Amino acid sequence: MKTGKINIGTGFLVLSAFMMYGFVLIYLRDFSPEKEAWIAGSLNGPHFESKLAHVHGNLFALLNIVIGYLLMHLSIPPRTALWISRLALAGLLMPMGILSEVYFGLPPYLVLLGAVSIIVSTTMFGFTMLRSRD
């Protein structure tokens, strides 16, 4: 399989999942019977964390789509491309980690691992492009 294809497919699936999650958040804010309580608690705590997961999930999904597309169309050394691809995919652990904190009370290890992964992936991609002679 060509490097980047999994990033694109996974990116679209994660994007659709976090869009649906966004609709759940809209329901909770605008239509649920306890909407006033939800709105009152939305600036901190689990409600705020849920919004962070939604935003970062969509952002990192889009980043995976773009990274995957570029990896498929640019001449990047295969080993470097594979590292960039895998690290970008691992970056999706950040929003998943936020949700695992909110809903399951897990420690923020996935958040940290995902954050470091997506930063390393994009930084590595940037340096690779700057060194590129194309």
Local mean pLDDT, 10-residue blocks, the chain (134 residues): 93 98 91 85 83 95 98 95 98 97 95 98 97 82
Q: Is 33 helix (H, G, I), strand (E, B) or coil?
A: coil
| pTM, entire model | 0.92
Q: Which helix (H) or strand (E) holds 95?
A: helix 93-104
Is residue 102 within 8 A of residue 45, CB to CB? The reply is: no
Q: Are 71 and 84 in contact (CB under 8 A)?
A: yes
114 C-beta neighbours (distance < 10 Å), count: 24
